[in-house]
Structure 1
Amino acid sequence: MMQVMVVTTHEGVPQEFYGAKLIGSRSFPCPWYQKVPLSLALSPRIISEVARFKPDIIHASSPGIMVFGALAIAKMLCVPIVMSYHTHVPVYIPRYTFSWLVKPMWMVIKFLHQAADLTLVPSAAIGRDLLAAQVAAANRIRLWNKGVDSESFNPQFRSHEMRVRLTNGEPEKPLIVHVGRLGVEKSLDFLKRMNLNTSVMDRLPDARIAFVGDGPYRPELEELFKGMPAVFTGMLGGEELSQAYASGDVFVMPSESETLGLVVLEAMSSGIPVVGVRAGGIPDIIPPELEGKIGFLFSPGDLDDCVDKLGTLLHNEELRETMGRAARIEMEQYDWRAATKMIRNEQYNAAIWFWRKKRALLLRPLQWLVKRIFPSPEVHYQ
């Protein structure tokens, strides 16, 4: 049975969560994104806790400053380290701070992942980006199969009461849902283009839209959609979140910078067809052979294309339900049990193999020197 320890950026966490030992660390807010906690997780307490646990492998989520701590601990304890790349920070930097920071960020990412024994990416598109930037060798970049909690995100959570809430009291109206962090990088202003003096809601006047989530861009979005049939729920969790997904008619995803798009998987698992942008990791979820069967993709920046596909689904209940069922069936193949089995049995073993090979290469000169200084005595057999 695999034992797991999780080091998190949050203090005051329970000692155990679903059998995994939890260790909290002190953190501070990200300067450009106050709600994102940062922690190096390199205190003597955490180092001693990890050392006592005696891990066979360390898995760090990159980018983030905690990955530096994880790398240091892995080298101190002489154990393999896997890094999974979840947030495409070089794409986000120009939207939050200075563009000149993009190149230094790529240098940091290269340093970290070249020190790792294996890099896991959530989509083939991100893998190609890392390979093009020479972040790691091709054989050390592996796809981490998509996974979704198909029990928590399920059509059975469809709720009339939640639909009333999301439509502001008009449950009979077609309902578009978006779930996620409300950040400028999510391109949600695409749905209401001021420079074109038009929006999705102008073009689909009978529809309602609900934004589920919170983030630094929420005040601007609320102002942008002021006077329009839009609802902002703030953060939802647990059964409320499951209900929000399942109670919509169509899920929209305009973000062009998603490394995977977990919310897209959750929407599809909830039996809701998706209209997403043909960019980032979204085309890996809705590949060409399944486009039009489990969801639609629209061309980046093409509001007409987006509106046409949203309208097709919103005004055709039979097509919407057929695609929603097909999306649910597709997601049932990708639950977290299957994803966990893959990473445990294949990806971690690959990382350990690379680590052993690297260690053998590093030790070879030392072994040669030892043999020269302390030659083995010759043995003569008679």
Structure 2
Amino acid sequence: MLFKDMITVVDTYEEISVHELHSGDPIIELIFPCPWYQKVPLSLALSPRIISEVARFKPDIIHASSPGIMVFGALIIAKLLCVPIVMSYHTHVPLYIPRYTFSWLVKPMWLIIKFLHRAADLTLVPSAAIASDLLAARVTAANKIRLWNKGVDSEKFHPRYRSYEMRLRLSDGEPEKPLIVHVGRLGVEKSLDFLKRVMDRLPEARIAFIGDGPYREELEKMFEGMPAVFTGVLRGEELSQAYASGDVFVMPSESETLGFVVLEAMSSGIPVVAARAGGIPDIIPADQDGKTSYLYNPGDLEDCLSKLRPLLHNKVLRETMAKAAREEMEKYDWKAATRMIRNEQYNAAIWFWRKKRAQLLRPFQWLAKRFFPSPQVN
């Protein structure tokens, strides 16, 4: 089946991806801040204007990012318009809740996730590990959970963006020193305090944090007096340069659903040292561990340092692994990933939707035949 177009809804209002809603006047919508991320505006996306624009657009399918607030609006619109809905599960919120608020909220969150994904026609997950977690929690039927293949913009994240000026900036004026790079949201759930323990054992190295988040202020205090640079959020070519200008990318997070920053780092031609947890082993499987990048046991400082030190100090090893990482990522560009989701996953969602609709209509069809029988034709 070919799709004339679709609607995609993500979970923060500032990134609303209803790309075709460009009819001039501003969309009036109630926006409120996220309780734990005051800088992130949230919205249900249920203003009459949005609903009417989506209805006029006549999508074949609606794709919503879950969990989030806007996904409720997407679900309501899909049901109102009788359109299939796909939900992709990107943030493993039940794992984050104990780090930010009361642990007793974990069970209610699982109930919300179950409600959303059982109402969806298909659930897409970024890794086999997350699929296992959702199956274990009985979030939805096993045949309605599908893997969304990894993809990366291999042109935007490319070794050619390596820049001496950017390296000078990231190393705080010491470009000849080994440079560790970390890109991502600075949140307590990312286990970034582990990098403090790493840097305590690598006084010769420098580290640069690219990104922002609620944990930044605490991290800056933690790294005070150490060779660490905090750039804040970088975009466009600056972000491409930041990736490509480091020596090694370190990913200590143990709760990544996939870890797109790992894909982007490898595509940029720098090897990764990452925790063997979450969706990361899907990017660096066992047969690639030690070839394209390294995995270490979560929280194991000695294991991490045993992988990190050789990369920082052996240029030949680093360049060999960086080249292998880049070649591996060239196989996973977004065009291939998009073809897969368009030609297979969306068609599966539509099939499930049609089957559910037929099951719901069956009793009414039986009643109609019972009370309004078709005339006999001789």
Q: Do the two structures share a fold, i.e. TM-score over 0.5?
A: yes
Matched with 2:113 is 109
Aligned match of 1:311 in 309, 312, 322? 309
Partner Cα distance (1:158, 1:371) in 2: 71
Residues 1-10 or 65-74, more deviating: 1-10
2:5 counterpart residue number: 3
Quote the Cα distance in structure 1 between the aligned partners of 2:138 and 2:301.
34
Distance between the aligned counterparts of 2:8 and 2:95, measured in 1?
28
After superposition, the Cα gap between the structure-2 partners of 1:230 and 1:26, relative to the gap in structure 1 and judged at 3 Å, is same
What's the counterpart of residue 227 of structure 1?
225
* Pairing 1:87–2:91 present: yes
The answer to whether 1:147 aligns with 2:145 is no
1:202-351 equivalences under 5 Å are 202-351=200-349
For 1:353, what is the secondary structure of its paired residue? helix
C-alpha separation between the residues in 2 aligned to 1:175 and 1:141?
40
CA distance in 2, matches of 1:221, 1:252: 16
For the residues of structure 2 that align with 1:346 and 1:13, how far apart are their CA atoms? 25
What residue is the counterpart of 1:31 in the other structure?
A: 35
Q: Is the 8 A contact 2:7 2:61 kept in 1?
A: no
Change (3 A) 1:2 1:204: farther
Structure 2 unaligned runs (5+)? none
Instruction: Please give the alpha-carbon distance, in whole angstroms, between the structure 2 residues aligned to 1:304 and 1:12.
Output: 40
Q: CA deviation at 1:36?
A: 2.1
Compared with structure 1, are the counterparts of its residues 322 and 224 closer, same or farther at alpha carbon in structure 2 (3 Å cutoff)?
Answer: same
CA distance in structure 2 between the partners assigned to 1:14 and 1:320 by the alignment: 38
CA contact 1:11–1:26 (8 Å) conserved in 2? no
Letter in 2 for 1:108: I
CA deviation vs aligned residue, 1:56-87 (integer Å, no higher than 9, x gap): 10001000011111111101000100000000
Aligned equivalent of 2:180, options 173, 176, 181: 176
Give the root-mean-square deviation of aligned CA atoms.
Answer: 1.7
| One-letter amino acid of the counterpart of residue 251, structure 1 | F
Does the CA-based 8 Å contact 1:276-1:297 persist in structure 2?
Answer: yes
8 Å contact kept, 1:154–1:270:
yes
C-alpha contact (below 8 Å) 2:85/2:122 kept by paired residues: yes
How many angstroms apart in 1 are the aligned matches of 2:53 and 2:59? 11
8 Å contact kept, 2:6–2:62 = no
Q: Secondary structure at the match of 2:86?
A: strand
Number of equivalent positions:
371
Deviations 1:300-321 (A, max 9, x none): 1101111111102111111111
Aligned counterpart for 1:373 among listed residues 364, 371, 375? 371
Secondary structure of the corresponding residue to residue 119 of structure 1: strand
Q: How far apart, in 2, do the equivalents of 1:297 and 1:332 lie?
A: 20
SS in 1 for 2:347: helix
Q: 1:97 aligns with which of 93, 97, 101?
A: 101
Q: What is aligned with 1:75? A: 79
Give 1:195's aligned residue: none
TM superposition shift of 1:5: 4.2
Q: Considering fraction of residues, name the structure with more strand.
A: 1
Whether contact under 8 Å (1:5, 1:21) holds in the other structure is no
Q: Work out whether residues 180 and 206 of structure 2, in 8 Å CA contact, stay in contact via their aligned partners in 1.
A: yes
Q: Helix, strand or coil: the match of 1:366?
A: helix
Which residue of 47, 52, 66 maps to 1:48? 52
1:4/1:354 CA distance change after superposition, 3 Å: closer
Tell me: CA distance 1:115–1:10, structure 2 relative to 1, closer, same or farther (3 Å): closer
Distance 1:12 1:64, change over 3 A: closer
- Percent of aligned pairs sharing the same letter: 78
Q: CA deviation at 1:210?
A: 0.5
TM-score, normalisation: structure 2: 0.95
Per-residue CA distance 1:96-130 (angstroms, 9 max, x = gap): 11100000000000000000000000001000000
After TM superposition, give the deviation of residue 13 of structure 1 in Å.
8.3
Which aligned pairs between 1:113-124 and structure 2 lie closer than 5 A? 113-124=117-128
Change over 3 Å in CA distance of 1:132–1:15 after alignment to 2: closer
Q: Distance in 1 between matches of 2:226 and 2:233?
A: 21
Letter in 1 for 2:234: L
- The structural deviation recorded for 1:249 is 0.4
Deviations 1:3-43 (A, max 9, x none): 34455644698996xxx545865422101111222110011
Deviation track 1:246-294 (CA, whole Å, cap 9, x = no partner) reads 0000000000010000000000000010000000000000000110011
